[in-house]
Structure 1
Protein backbone atom coordinates (compact mmCIF):
# COMPACT_ATOMS: atom_id res chain seq x y z
CA UNK A 1 0.00 0.00 0.00
CA UNK A 2 2.82 2.37 0.93
CA UNK A 3 4.47 1.73 -2.46
CA UNK A 4 1.21 2.46 -4.29
CA UNK A 5 0.80 5.73 -2.43
CA UNK A 6 4.36 6.74 -3.34
CA UNK A 7 3.77 5.94 -7.02
CA UNK A 8 0.55 7.97 -7.09
CA UNK A 9 2.31 10.86 -5.38
CA UNK A 10 5.11 10.88 -7.98
CA UNK A 11 2.56 10.74 -10.82
CA UNK A 12 0.54 13.64 -9.42
CA UNK A 13 3.68 15.72 -8.92
CA UNK A 14 4.76 15.13 -12.53
CA UNK A 15 1.33 16.05 -13.85
CA UNK A 16 1.15 19.28 -11.84
CA UNK A 17 4.70 20.21 -12.91
CA UNK A 18 3.72 19.74 -16.55
CA UNK A 19 0.57 21.84 -16.18
CA UNK A 20 2.59 24.71 -14.74
CA UNK A 21 4.65 24.97 -17.92
CA UNK A 22 2.13 23.95 -20.57
CA UNK A 23 0.68 26.52 -22.98
CA UNK A 24 -3.11 26.46 -22.97
CA UNK A 25 -4.52 25.18 -26.26
CA UNK A 26 -6.90 28.15 -26.33
CA UNK A 27 -4.17 30.80 -25.82
CA UNK A 28 -4.33 33.64 -28.32
CA UNK A 29 -1.45 35.82 -29.48
CA UNK A 30 -1.71 39.60 -29.64
CA UNK A 31 0.03 39.53 -33.03
CA UNK A 32 -0.23 36.86 -35.71
CA UNK A 33 0.84 36.42 -39.34
CA UNK A 34 -0.57 35.04 -42.59
CA UNK A 35 1.12 34.06 -45.85
CA UNK A 36 0.20 32.62 -49.23
CA UNK A 37 2.35 29.60 -48.33
CA UNK A 38 0.97 29.34 -44.80
CA UNK A 39 -1.47 26.82 -43.35
CA UNK A 40 -4.42 27.48 -41.05
CA UNK A 41 -3.40 24.56 -38.82
CA UNK A 42 -0.26 26.53 -37.90
CA UNK A 43 -0.09 28.71 -34.78
CA UNK A 44 0.03 31.83 -37.04
CA UNK A 45 3.47 32.82 -35.76
CA UNK A 46 5.92 34.65 -38.01
CA UNK A 47 7.81 31.42 -38.74
CA UNK A 48 4.66 29.29 -39.02
CA UNK A 49 2.01 31.62 -40.48
CA UNK A 50 -1.59 30.83 -41.25
CA UNK A 51 -3.03 31.06 -44.77
CA UNK A 52 -6.23 33.14 -44.35
CA UNK A 53 -7.59 36.02 -42.31
CA UNK A 54 -10.38 33.79 -41.04
CA UNK A 55 -7.91 31.11 -39.99
CA UNK A 56 -5.80 33.61 -38.07
CA UNK A 57 -8.56 35.56 -36.41
CA UNK A 58 -9.48 32.71 -34.05
CA UNK A 59 -5.85 32.59 -32.88
CA UNK A 60 -5.54 36.34 -32.34
CA UNK A 61 -6.52 38.02 -29.09
CA UNK A 62 -9.14 40.75 -28.96
CA UNK A 63 -7.42 44.06 -29.66
CA UNK A 64 -4.60 42.25 -31.48
CA UNK A 65 -3.22 42.52 -35.01
CA UNK A 66 -2.90 40.19 -38.00
CA UNK A 67 -0.11 41.02 -40.47
CA UNK A 68 0.53 39.48 -43.88
CA UNK A 69 4.02 38.45 -44.95
CA UNK A 70 3.46 38.59 -48.72
CA UNK A 71 1.05 40.24 -51.20
CA UNK A 72 -1.46 37.41 -51.49
CA UNK A 73 -5.25 37.27 -51.44
CA UNK A 74 -6.16 35.87 -48.04
CA UNK A 75 -9.89 35.34 -48.33
CA UNK A 76 -13.00 36.96 -46.93
CA UNK A 77 -13.39 37.42 -43.20
CA UNK A 78 -16.11 38.00 -40.60
CA UNK A 79 -14.86 40.04 -37.65
CA UNK A 80 -16.54 39.78 -34.25
CA UNK A 81 -13.93 41.39 -31.98
CA UNK A 82 -11.61 44.38 -31.89
CA UNK A 83 -8.72 43.73 -34.27
CA UNK A 84 -6.39 45.24 -36.88
CA UNK A 85 -5.71 43.69 -40.29
CA UNK A 86 -2.50 45.11 -41.77
CA UNK A 87 -0.55 44.17 -44.89
CA UNK A 88 2.21 46.77 -44.56
CA UNK A 89 4.85 44.06 -44.13
CA UNK A 90 4.13 42.39 -47.47
CA UNK A 91 7.10 41.55 -49.72
CA UNK A 92 8.70 44.75 -51.09
CA UNK A 93 5.99 46.73 -49.33
CA UNK A 94 3.28 45.40 -51.67
CA UNK A 95 -0.12 45.26 -50.05
CA UNK A 96 -1.92 41.98 -49.79
CA UNK A 97 -5.56 41.71 -48.98
CA UNK A 98 -8.79 40.04 -49.99
CA UNK A 99 -10.19 38.54 -53.17
CA UNK A 100 -13.98 38.41 -52.83
CA UNK A 101 -15.53 37.55 -56.20
CA UNK A 102 -19.27 37.10 -55.70
CA UNK A 103 -19.19 37.46 -51.90
CA UNK A 104 -18.56 40.08 -49.20
CA UNK A 105 -14.95 40.94 -48.41
CA UNK A 106 -15.14 42.01 -44.76
CA UNK A 107 -18.14 41.84 -42.42
CA UNK A 108 -17.94 43.51 -39.00
CA UNK A 109 -20.58 42.28 -36.57
CA UNK A 110 -20.23 42.87 -32.82
CA UNK A 111 -21.65 39.95 -30.76
CA UNK A 112 -23.15 42.64 -28.48
CA UNK A 113 -24.60 44.55 -31.41
CA UNK A 114 -28.14 44.46 -30.07
CA UNK A 115 -27.23 45.79 -26.62
CA UNK A 116 -23.87 47.54 -26.07
CA UNK A 117 -21.45 47.12 -29.01
CA UNK A 118 -17.81 47.95 -28.24
CA UNK A 119 -15.54 46.47 -30.91
CA UNK A 120 -13.13 48.65 -32.88
CA UNK A 121 -11.79 47.40 -36.22
CA UNK A 122 -8.94 48.77 -38.34
CA UNK A 123 -8.16 47.76 -41.94
CA UNK A 124 -4.77 49.07 -43.04
CA UNK A 125 -2.62 48.73 -46.18
CA UNK A 126 -5.02 46.36 -47.95
CA UNK A 127 -6.58 45.74 -51.33
CA UNK A 128 -10.12 44.36 -51.48
CA UNK A 129 -10.78 43.15 -55.02
CA UNK A 130 -14.01 41.54 -56.14
CA UNK A 131 -12.81 40.77 -59.66
CA UNK A 132 -14.21 37.61 -61.21
CA UNK A 133 -17.06 36.31 -63.33
CA UNK A 134 -19.34 37.81 -60.67
CA UNK A 135 -17.82 40.84 -58.96
CA UNK A 136 -17.88 41.16 -55.19
CA UNK A 137 -20.93 42.22 -53.20
CA UNK A 138 -19.89 44.38 -50.23
CA UNK A 139 -16.22 45.23 -50.03
CA UNK A 140 -16.71 46.10 -46.35
CA UNK A 141 -19.98 45.82 -44.43
CA UNK A 142 -20.22 47.20 -40.89
CA UNK A 143 -23.30 45.87 -39.08
CA UNK A 144 -22.50 46.78 -35.47
CA UNK A 145 -19.65 47.94 -33.31
CA UNK A 146 -17.99 51.09 -31.99
CA UNK A 147 -15.78 52.13 -34.89
CA UNK A 148 -14.35 51.15 -38.26
CA UNK A 149 -11.10 52.66 -39.57
CA UNK A 150 -9.67 52.27 -43.09
CA UNK A 151 -6.16 53.54 -43.83
CA UNK A 152 -4.42 53.16 -47.19
CA UNK A 153 -7.04 50.77 -48.56
CA UNK A 154 -7.96 50.16 -52.23
CA UNK A 155 -11.39 48.71 -53.02
CA UNK A 156 -12.47 47.71 -56.53
CA UNK A 157 -14.93 45.59 -58.52
CA UNK A 158 -17.79 45.52 -56.01
CA UNK A 159 -21.55 45.96 -55.92
CA UNK A 160 -23.24 42.78 -57.15
CA UNK A 161 -26.80 42.86 -55.83
CA UNK A 162 -26.89 46.69 -55.93
CA UNK A 163 -25.07 46.98 -52.60
CA UNK A 164 -22.37 49.52 -51.64
CA UNK A 165 -18.64 48.89 -51.77
CA UNK A 166 -18.53 50.17 -48.17
CA UNK A 167 -21.72 49.93 -46.17
CA UNK A 168 -21.62 51.56 -42.73
CA UNK A 169 -25.00 50.56 -41.29
CA UNK A 170 -24.73 50.30 -37.48
CA UNK A 171 -27.52 48.84 -35.36
CA UNK A 172 -29.74 51.04 -33.22
CA UNK A 173 -27.60 50.11 -30.19
CA UNK A 174 -24.48 51.40 -32.00
CA UNK A 175 -25.44 55.03 -31.43
CA UNK A 176 -22.39 57.25 -31.93
CA UNK A 177 -20.53 54.68 -34.04
CA UNK A 178 -17.88 56.21 -36.31
CA UNK A 179 -16.34 55.45 -39.69
CA UNK A 180 -12.86 56.86 -40.41
CA UNK A 181 -11.37 56.65 -43.92
CA UNK A 182 -7.96 58.05 -44.86
CA UNK A 183 -6.10 57.51 -48.15
CA UNK A 184 -8.78 55.22 -49.57
CA UNK A 185 -9.46 54.58 -53.27
CA UNK A 186 -12.74 53.07 -54.49
CA UNK A 187 -13.19 52.33 -58.20
CA UNK A 188 -15.44 50.35 -60.51
CA UNK A 189 -18.51 49.91 -58.32
CA UNK A 190 -21.88 48.87 -59.72
CA UNK A 191 -23.88 50.82 -57.16
CA UNK A 192 -22.53 53.08 -54.35
CA UNK A 193 -19.00 53.77 -53.17
CA UNK A 194 -19.81 54.56 -49.52
CA UNK A 195 -23.18 54.42 -47.77
CA UNK A 196 -23.65 55.83 -44.26
CA UNK A 197 -26.91 55.02 -42.51
CA UNK A 198 -28.16 53.47 -39.29
CA UNK A 199 -30.97 51.34 -37.98
CA UNK A 200 -33.82 53.53 -36.64
CA UNK A 201 -31.91 56.67 -37.63
CA UNK A 202 -29.65 56.83 -34.56
CA UNK A 203 -26.75 59.26 -34.86
CA UNK A 204 -23.64 57.87 -36.57
CA UNK A 205 -20.73 59.71 -38.18
CA UNK A 206 -18.28 59.24 -41.03
CA UNK A 207 -15.03 61.14 -41.64
CA UNK A 208 -13.44 60.79 -45.10
CA UNK A 209 -10.03 62.36 -45.76
CA UNK A 210 -8.14 62.04 -49.05
CA UNK A 211 -10.66 59.60 -50.47
CA UNK A 212 -11.14 58.98 -54.20
CA UNK A 213 -14.34 57.41 -55.52
CA UNK A 214 -14.84 56.94 -59.27
CA UNK A 215 -16.80 54.80 -61.69
CA UNK A 216 -19.62 54.22 -59.22
CA UNK A 217 -23.34 54.71 -59.57
CA UNK A 218 -23.20 57.00 -56.52
CA UNK A 219 -20.04 58.30 -54.88
CA UNK A 220 -21.25 58.78 -51.29
CA UNK A 221 -24.81 58.35 -50.00
CA UNK A 222 -25.81 59.54 -46.53
CA UNK A 223 -29.14 58.47 -45.06
CA UNK A 224 -31.19 59.22 -41.92
CA UNK A 225 -29.09 59.48 -38.79
CA UNK A 226 -25.83 59.80 -40.72
CA UNK A 227 -23.44 62.75 -40.78
CA UNK A 228 -20.52 62.57 -43.19
CA UNK A 229 -17.62 65.02 -43.29
CA UNK A 230 -15.60 64.70 -46.48
CA UNK A 231 -12.36 66.68 -46.90
CA UNK A 232 -9.56 66.86 -49.48
CA UNK A 233 -11.26 64.24 -51.64
CA UNK A 234 -12.30 63.56 -55.24
CA UNK A 235 -15.67 62.03 -56.13
CA UNK A 236 -15.67 62.26 -59.92
CA UNK A 237 -16.97 60.30 -62.91
CA UNK A 238 -19.85 58.75 -60.98
CA UNK A 239 -23.60 58.80 -61.59
CA UNK A 240 -24.08 61.09 -58.58
CA UNK A 241 -21.31 62.58 -56.50
CA UNK A 242 -22.79 63.11 -53.02
CA UNK A 243 -26.42 62.32 -52.15
CA UNK A 244 -28.17 63.01 -48.84
CA UNK A 245 -31.06 60.64 -49.31
CA UNK A 246 -33.45 60.94 -46.36
CA UNK A 247 -34.33 63.18 -43.43
CA UNK A 248 -31.79 64.04 -40.72
CA UNK A 249 -28.88 63.26 -43.05
CA UNK A 250 -26.01 65.75 -43.31
CA UNK A 251 -22.93 66.01 -45.52
CA UNK A 252 -20.15 68.53 -44.90
CA UNK A 253 -17.83 68.94 -47.91
CA UNK A 254 -14.53 70.83 -47.64
CA UNK A 255 -11.88 70.81 -50.33
CA UNK A 256 -13.81 68.30 -52.44
CA UNK A 257 -13.84 68.04 -56.25
CA UNK A 258 -16.87 66.55 -57.98
CA UNK A 259 -16.63 66.38 -61.76
CA UNK A 260 -18.13 64.46 -64.64
CA UNK A 261 -21.22 63.21 -62.80
CA UNK A 262 -23.64 61.60 -65.25
CA UNK A 263 -26.59 62.94 -63.25
CA UNK A 264 -25.86 65.32 -60.34
CA UNK A 265 -22.76 66.42 -58.50
CA UNK A 266 -24.51 67.35 -55.23
CA UNK A 267 -28.06 66.15 -54.54
CA UNK A 268 -30.00 66.96 -51.35
CA UNK A 269 -33.48 65.53 -50.81
CA UNK A 270 -36.26 66.68 -48.50
CA UNK A 271 -35.16 67.34 -44.92
CA UNK A 272 -31.43 66.88 -45.52
CA UNK A 273 -28.48 69.29 -45.44
CA UNK A 274 -25.30 69.62 -47.50
CA UNK A 275 -22.68 72.25 -46.64
CA UNK A 276 -20.09 73.33 -49.21
CA UNK A 277 -16.72 74.96 -48.53
CA UNK A 278 -13.93 75.18 -51.10
CA UNK A 279 -15.77 72.71 -53.33
CA UNK A 280 -15.25 72.46 -57.08
CA UNK A 281 -18.14 71.29 -59.29
CA UNK A 282 -17.21 70.82 -62.95
CA UNK A 283 -18.83 69.28 -66.01
CA UNK A 284 -21.65 67.53 -64.22
CA UNK A 285 -25.03 67.16 -65.91
CA UNK A 286 -26.40 69.08 -62.91
CA UNK A 287 -24.02 70.66 -60.43
CA UNK A 288 -26.49 71.07 -57.54
CA UNK A 289 -30.02 69.73 -57.21
CA UNK A 290 -32.55 69.72 -54.36
CA UNK A 291 -36.02 68.24 -53.82
CA UNK A 292 -38.59 69.27 -51.25
CA UNK A 293 -37.34 71.32 -48.31
CA UNK A 294 -33.63 70.61 -48.53
CA UNK A 295 -30.64 72.80 -47.68
CA UNK A 296 -27.46 73.24 -49.71
CA UNK A 297 -25.44 75.79 -47.78
CA UNK A 298 -22.44 77.57 -49.31
CA UNK A 299 -19.65 79.37 -47.51
CA UNK A 300 -19.18 81.55 -50.59
CA UNK A 301 -15.81 80.12 -51.59
CA UNK A 302 -16.85 77.39 -54.01
CA UNK A 303 -16.25 76.98 -57.74
CA UNK A 304 -19.23 76.07 -59.90
CA UNK A 305 -17.91 75.22 -63.34
CA UNK A 306 -19.78 74.71 -66.61
CA UNK A 307 -22.35 71.92 -66.42
CA UNK A 308 -24.19 70.37 -69.33
CA UNK A 309 -27.68 71.44 -68.21
CA UNK A 310 -27.55 73.65 -65.13
CA UNK A 311 -24.98 74.31 -62.49
CA UNK A 312 -27.72 74.79 -59.90
CA UNK A 313 -27.32 77.16 -56.96
CA UNK A 314 -26.98 76.74 -53.21
CA UNK A 315 -30.15 77.44 -51.25
CA UNK A 316 -28.31 79.74 -48.82
CA UNK A 317 -24.91 81.33 -48.21
CA UNK A 318 -23.03 81.63 -44.92
CA UNK A 319 -20.39 84.30 -44.36
CA UNK A 320 -16.96 82.92 -43.60
CA UNK A 321 -15.72 83.89 -40.15
Structure 2
Protein backbone atom coordinates (compact mmCIF):
# COMPACT_ATOMS: atom_id res chain seq x y z
CA UNK A 1 0.00 0.00 0.00
CA UNK A 2 2.79 2.39 0.95
CA UNK A 3 4.65 1.56 -2.25
CA UNK A 4 1.56 2.31 -4.32
CA UNK A 5 1.13 5.68 -2.62
CA UNK A 6 4.79 6.54 -3.25
CA UNK A 7 4.46 5.56 -6.91
CA UNK A 8 1.33 7.71 -7.33
CA UNK A 9 3.01 10.69 -5.66
CA UNK A 10 6.12 10.27 -7.80
CA UNK A 11 4.06 10.10 -10.99
CA UNK A 12 2.12 13.20 -9.95
CA UNK A 13 5.33 15.16 -9.26
CA UNK A 14 6.83 14.13 -12.61
CA UNK A 15 3.65 15.08 -14.47
CA UNK A 16 3.54 18.44 -12.69
CA UNK A 17 7.20 19.06 -13.56
CA UNK A 18 6.66 18.43 -17.29
CA UNK A 19 3.47 20.49 -17.38
CA UNK A 20 5.26 23.38 -15.68
CA UNK A 21 8.22 23.11 -18.05
CA UNK A 22 5.88 23.13 -21.04
CA UNK A 23 4.00 26.18 -19.76
CA UNK A 24 7.27 28.05 -19.22
CA UNK A 25 8.79 27.12 -22.60
CA UNK A 26 9.70 30.04 -24.84
CA UNK A 27 8.77 30.01 -28.52
CA UNK A 28 11.08 31.06 -31.34
CA UNK A 29 8.20 32.98 -32.97
CA UNK A 30 5.43 34.71 -31.01
CA UNK A 31 2.48 36.87 -32.01
CA UNK A 32 0.64 39.97 -30.78
CA UNK A 33 -2.77 41.31 -31.77
CA UNK A 34 -4.81 44.39 -30.99
CA UNK A 35 -7.41 42.06 -29.47
CA UNK A 36 -4.91 39.68 -27.83
CA UNK A 37 -4.35 38.91 -24.15
CA UNK A 38 -1.01 38.77 -22.31
CA UNK A 39 -2.30 35.75 -20.39
CA UNK A 40 -2.15 33.83 -23.69
CA UNK A 41 0.90 31.82 -24.83
CA UNK A 42 1.45 34.36 -27.68
CA UNK A 43 0.86 31.70 -30.34
CA UNK A 44 -0.68 32.47 -33.74
CA UNK A 45 -4.10 31.34 -32.55
CA UNK A 46 -3.78 32.76 -29.02
CA UNK A 47 -1.76 36.00 -29.39
CA UNK A 48 -0.62 38.38 -26.68
CA UNK A 49 -1.72 42.00 -26.35
CA UNK A 50 1.63 43.83 -25.85
CA UNK A 51 5.27 43.58 -26.83
CA UNK A 52 6.18 43.47 -23.14
CA UNK A 53 3.88 40.49 -22.66
CA UNK A 54 5.27 38.68 -25.68
CA UNK A 55 8.97 39.27 -25.05
CA UNK A 56 9.04 37.12 -21.91
CA UNK A 57 7.57 34.24 -23.93
CA UNK A 58 9.96 34.62 -26.86
CA UNK A 59 13.25 32.71 -26.97
CA UNK A 60 16.63 34.40 -27.40
CA UNK A 61 17.10 35.33 -31.09
CA UNK A 62 13.38 34.75 -31.64
CA UNK A 63 10.88 37.02 -33.38
CA UNK A 64 7.69 38.82 -32.35
CA UNK A 65 5.20 39.36 -35.20
CA UNK A 66 1.93 41.28 -35.31
CA UNK A 67 -1.28 39.78 -36.67
CA UNK A 68 -3.27 42.99 -37.11
CA UNK A 69 -2.95 46.71 -36.38
CA UNK A 70 -2.81 47.76 -32.75
CA UNK A 71 -1.06 49.67 -30.01
CA UNK A 72 1.37 47.25 -28.40
CA UNK A 73 2.97 49.37 -25.68
CA UNK A 74 6.47 50.36 -24.63
CA UNK A 75 9.04 47.62 -24.08
CA UNK A 76 12.52 47.06 -22.65
CA UNK A 77 14.72 44.61 -24.59
CA UNK A 78 17.51 42.72 -22.80
CA UNK A 79 18.30 39.91 -25.26
CA UNK A 80 18.73 39.26 -28.97
CA UNK A 81 15.30 39.53 -30.57
CA UNK A 82 13.42 40.85 -33.61
CA UNK A 83 10.14 42.77 -33.46
CA UNK A 84 8.59 42.83 -36.93
CA UNK A 85 5.42 44.78 -37.73
CA UNK A 86 4.41 43.59 -41.18
CA UNK A 87 0.78 42.75 -40.39
CA UNK A 88 -0.42 46.37 -40.16
CA UNK A 89 0.33 49.36 -37.94
CA UNK A 90 2.60 48.18 -35.12
CA UNK A 91 2.03 51.11 -32.79
CA UNK A 92 3.81 52.13 -29.61
CA UNK A 93 2.31 55.11 -27.79
CA UNK A 94 4.88 56.29 -25.26
CA UNK A 95 3.50 59.45 -23.66
CA UNK A 96 5.69 60.38 -20.68
CA UNK A 97 8.07 57.45 -21.08
CA UNK A 98 10.57 55.79 -23.44
CA UNK A 99 9.17 53.91 -26.40
CA UNK A 100 11.82 51.17 -26.55
CA UNK A 101 14.87 50.71 -24.33
CA UNK A 102 17.57 48.39 -25.69
CA UNK A 103 20.01 47.17 -23.04
CA UNK A 104 21.78 44.11 -24.39
CA UNK A 105 25.21 42.45 -24.27
CA UNK A 106 27.96 42.99 -26.82
CA UNK A 107 27.16 39.73 -28.64
CA UNK A 108 23.41 40.48 -28.97
CA UNK A 109 21.55 41.61 -32.08
CA UNK A 110 18.21 43.46 -32.02
CA UNK A 111 15.96 44.23 -35.01
CA UNK A 112 13.05 46.72 -34.90
CA UNK A 113 11.19 46.59 -38.19
CA UNK A 114 8.01 48.36 -39.27
CA UNK A 115 7.17 50.14 -36.02
CA UNK A 116 5.18 53.36 -35.50
CA UNK A 117 6.58 54.93 -32.32
CA UNK A 118 4.66 57.99 -31.10
CA UNK A 119 5.65 60.20 -28.15
CA UNK A 120 2.48 62.33 -28.10
CA UNK A 121 4.54 65.43 -27.25
CA UNK A 122 5.62 64.17 -23.80
CA UNK A 123 7.55 60.99 -24.60
CA UNK A 124 11.13 60.84 -23.30
CA UNK A 125 12.93 59.03 -26.13
CA UNK A 126 11.66 56.97 -29.03
CA UNK A 127 14.40 54.32 -29.04
CA UNK A 128 17.11 54.41 -26.38
CA UNK A 129 20.25 52.25 -26.80
CA UNK A 130 22.11 51.99 -23.49
CA UNK A 131 23.71 48.55 -23.70
CA UNK A 132 26.17 47.21 -26.24
CA UNK A 133 25.57 44.90 -29.18
CA UNK A 134 24.05 45.85 -32.54
CA UNK A 135 20.68 47.46 -33.24
CA UNK A 136 18.85 47.71 -36.58
CA UNK A 137 15.88 50.08 -36.94
CA UNK A 138 14.19 49.95 -40.34
CA UNK A 139 10.95 50.86 -42.11
CA UNK A 140 9.77 52.79 -39.04
CA UNK A 141 8.48 56.18 -37.86
CA UNK A 142 9.62 57.87 -34.63
CA UNK A 143 7.69 61.04 -33.82
CA UNK A 144 6.88 63.72 -31.25
CA UNK A 145 9.23 62.87 -28.38
CA UNK A 146 9.58 66.22 -26.62
CA UNK A 147 9.48 65.34 -22.92
CA UNK A 148 12.69 65.13 -20.89
CA UNK A 149 15.59 64.88 -23.34
CA UNK A 150 13.15 64.17 -26.15
CA UNK A 151 15.35 62.31 -28.63
CA UNK A 152 13.96 60.27 -31.49
CA UNK A 153 16.91 57.88 -31.18
CA UNK A 154 19.28 58.15 -28.21
CA UNK A 155 22.52 56.15 -28.33
CA UNK A 156 24.42 56.31 -25.05
CA UNK A 157 25.83 52.81 -24.86
CA UNK A 158 27.94 51.53 -21.99
CA UNK A 159 30.56 50.35 -24.48
CA UNK A 160 31.15 50.33 -28.23
CA UNK A 161 27.97 49.67 -30.19
CA UNK A 162 26.64 49.85 -33.73
CA UNK A 163 23.22 51.13 -34.77
CA UNK A 164 21.85 51.02 -38.32
CA UNK A 165 18.78 53.16 -39.13
CA UNK A 166 17.33 52.38 -42.55
CA UNK A 167 14.31 53.83 -44.37
CA UNK A 168 13.00 55.56 -41.25
CA UNK A 169 11.31 58.91 -40.53
CA UNK A 170 12.44 60.79 -37.40
CA UNK A 171 10.09 63.76 -37.06
CA UNK A 172 9.00 66.43 -34.60
CA UNK A 173 11.17 65.51 -31.63
CA UNK A 174 13.31 67.80 -29.46
CA UNK A 175 16.39 66.19 -31.03
CA UNK A 176 16.51 63.71 -33.86
CA UNK A 177 19.46 61.37 -33.23
CA UNK A 178 21.70 61.83 -30.18
CA UNK A 179 24.99 59.90 -30.03
CA UNK A 180 27.12 60.25 -26.93
CA UNK A 181 30.17 58.15 -26.14
CA UNK A 182 30.19 56.98 -22.54
CA UNK A 183 32.93 54.44 -23.26
CA UNK A 184 34.28 53.01 -26.48
CA UNK A 185 33.12 54.16 -29.90
CA UNK A 186 29.47 54.28 -30.96
CA UNK A 187 28.78 54.12 -34.70
CA UNK A 188 25.38 55.03 -36.16
CA UNK A 189 24.69 54.45 -39.85
CA UNK A 190 21.73 56.48 -41.14
CA UNK A 191 20.67 55.50 -44.64
CA UNK A 192 17.67 56.17 -46.90
CA UNK A 193 16.01 58.09 -44.08
CA UNK A 194 14.52 61.52 -43.33
CA UNK A 195 15.14 63.57 -40.18
CA UNK A 196 12.71 66.47 -40.30
CA UNK A 197 11.35 69.29 -38.08
CA UNK A 198 13.14 68.39 -34.86
CA UNK A 199 13.33 71.37 -32.51
CA UNK A 200 17.06 71.46 -31.67
CA UNK A 201 19.04 69.25 -34.08
CA UNK A 202 18.78 66.48 -36.63
CA UNK A 203 21.90 64.74 -35.36
CA UNK A 204 24.32 65.34 -32.50
CA UNK A 205 27.60 63.47 -32.03
CA UNK A 206 29.33 64.00 -28.70
CA UNK A 207 32.71 62.35 -28.05
CA UNK A 208 34.42 59.39 -29.70
CA UNK A 209 31.52 58.37 -31.91
CA UNK A 210 30.54 58.59 -35.55
CA UNK A 211 27.40 59.26 -37.59
CA UNK A 212 27.58 57.94 -41.16
CA UNK A 213 25.07 59.37 -43.65
CA UNK A 214 24.04 57.65 -46.87
CA UNK A 215 21.10 58.71 -49.06
CA UNK A 216 19.51 60.69 -46.21
CA UNK A 217 17.69 64.03 -45.92
CA UNK A 218 18.12 66.40 -42.96
CA UNK A 219 15.74 69.36 -43.32
CA UNK A 220 13.59 71.67 -41.22
CA UNK A 221 15.67 71.23 -38.06
CA UNK A 222 17.00 74.18 -36.05
CA UNK A 223 20.50 72.68 -36.49
CA UNK A 224 21.27 69.89 -38.89
CA UNK A 225 24.51 68.63 -37.31
CA UNK A 226 25.98 69.35 -33.88
CA UNK A 227 29.47 67.86 -33.50
CA UNK A 228 31.37 68.27 -30.22
CA UNK A 229 34.23 66.74 -28.23
CA UNK A 230 35.84 64.91 -31.12
CA UNK A 231 32.73 63.45 -32.73
CA UNK A 232 32.62 62.72 -36.45
CA UNK A 233 29.99 62.86 -39.19
CA UNK A 234 30.85 61.15 -42.47
CA UNK A 235 28.70 61.90 -45.52
CA UNK A 236 28.82 59.77 -48.66
CA UNK A 237 27.91 62.77 -50.78
CA UNK A 238 24.39 61.69 -51.75
CA UNK A 239 22.66 63.37 -48.81
CA UNK A 240 20.53 66.51 -48.52
CA UNK A 241 21.67 68.55 -45.50
CA UNK A 242 19.96 71.90 -44.95
CA UNK A 243 20.66 74.09 -41.95
CA UNK A 244 23.54 74.75 -39.58
CA UNK A 245 26.32 72.18 -39.34
CA UNK A 246 28.50 70.38 -41.86
CA UNK A 247 29.95 66.86 -41.93
CA UNK A 248 33.53 66.47 -40.76
CA UNK A 249 34.21 64.36 -43.83
CA UNK A 250 32.55 63.94 -47.23
CA UNK A 251 33.37 60.80 -49.18
CA UNK A 252 32.65 60.82 -52.94
CA UNK A 253 30.43 58.04 -54.22
CA UNK A 254 32.36 55.45 -56.18
Normalised by the length of structure 2, the TM-score is: 0.91
Quote the residue 1:222 is aligned against: 205
Aligned to 1:275: 249
**Which residue of structure 1 lines up, in the alignment, with residue 185 of structure 2?**
203
Does 1:157 find its partner at 2:157? no
1:53 corresponds to which of 28, 51, 54: 51
Q: Which of these residues, 83, 98, 104, is aligned with residue 104 of structure 1? A: 98
Look up the match of 1:37.
Answer: 35
The residue number in structure 1 matching 2:6 is: 8
Query: Is residue 179 from structure 1 mapped to residue 163 from structure 2 by the alignment?
Result: yes
Q: Aligned equivalents of 1:59 and 1:101: distance in 2?
A: 26
Counterpart in the other structure of 1:126 = 115
Q: How many residues align?
A: 252
User: Could you tell me how far 1:228 is from its partner in structure 2?
Assistant: 1.5
- 1:258 deviation in Å? 1.5
What secondary structure is seen at the aligned counterpart in 2 of 1:5? helix
Matched-pair contact (CA < 8 Å) for 2:123–2:148:
no
What is the Cα deviation at residue 14 of structure 1? Answer: 6.1
Whether the 8 Å CA contact 2:125–2:149 is kept in 1: the answer is no
Q: Which SS does the other structure have where 1:24 is aligned?
A: helix
**CA-CA distance at 1:226 after TM superposition:** 0.6
Q: Tell me, which stretches of 5 or more residues in structure 2 are unaligned? A: none
For 1:137 and 1:161, the matched residues in 2 are separated by: 5
Q: 1:205: how far off? A: 0.9
Match of 2:67 in 1: 69
In 2, are the aligned partners of 1:65 and 1:86 still within 8 Å (CA)?
A: yes
Offset at residue 197 of structure 1 (A): 1.8
CA distance in 1, matches of 2:202, 2:6: 72
2:195 aligned counterpart, secondary structure? strand
Q: Which has the higher contact order (CA 8 A, sep 6+)?
A: 2
1:141 corresponds to which residue?
Answer: 128
Compared with structure 1, are the counterparts of its residues 16 and 164 closer, same or farther at alpha carbon in structure 2 (3 Å cutoff)?
Answer: closer
Q: Distance in 2 between matches of 1:163 and 1:194?
A: 10
Could you state the TM-score of these two structures normalised by the residue count of structure 1? 0.73
Residues 34 and 51 in structure 1, CA contact (< 8 A), matched pair in contact too = yes
Cα drift, residue 15 of structure 1? 5.0
Residues 1:12 and 1:179: Cα distance change in structure 2 (over 3 Å): same
Displacement, 1:19? 5.0
Summarize the Cα distance change of 1:77–1:8 in structure 2 as closer, same or farther, 3 Å threshold: same
Deviation at 1:41, TM superposition (A): 0.7
Cα-Cα RMSD:
2.1
Which structure 1 segments of 5+ residues have no match? 267-272, 278-298, 300-319
Instruction: Give me the whole-angstrom Cα distance separating, in 1, the residues matched to 2:213 and 2:163.
Output: 12
SS of residue matched to 2:189: strand
CA contact (8 A) 1:120 1:145 kept: no
Instruction: Work out the CA distance in 2 between the residues paired with 1:214 and 1:6.
Output: 74
